[in-house]
Amino acid sequence: MEGAIVVYLLTALLFALLYHIIFLLQGQSAFSGLSNYERSEFMYFSLTTLTTVGYGDITPVNQFARSLANLEALNGQLYPAILIARLVSLEFASTNK
């Protein structure tokens, strides 16, 4: 279970690094709402996108960044759902034995 949580958080870190790369390549026009342009802001944006909280204070403007944010949000929804379904099926399998 701890490994699944680590994978979830590493996913957020990976997307934060990808957002930062987009920012470095495209400049300030890639995101709206950034205040200090540090990696911590991209981690914040990544976690709010992955958990689908989406406060809206930072928004991707670049087309590639928007697509990446959609992919991250989809991953943020499917990963826990599939993980919970797998854990429940393993529990049912172990109680049937």
Longest Cα separation, the chain: 58
What percentage of the chain exceeds 90 in pLDDT?
A: 74
Say yes or no to pLDDT of 37 above 90: no
What confidence tens digit (pLDDT) does each residue in 66-83 have?
999 999 999 999 999 999
Whole-number Å distance between alpha carbons of 15 and 73: 11
Q: Are strands 59-60 and 31-32 parallel, antiparallel or unpaired?
A: antiparallel
Q: What domains are there in the chain, each with its CATH number? A: 2-96 (1.10.287.70)
Mean model confidence pLDDT for the chain: 92
Angle between helices 2-26 and 39-50 (to 10 degrees): 130
Positions of E strands within 1-97:
31-32, 59-60
Give pTM, 2 decimals: 0.88
The predicted structure's pLDDT at residue 54: 85
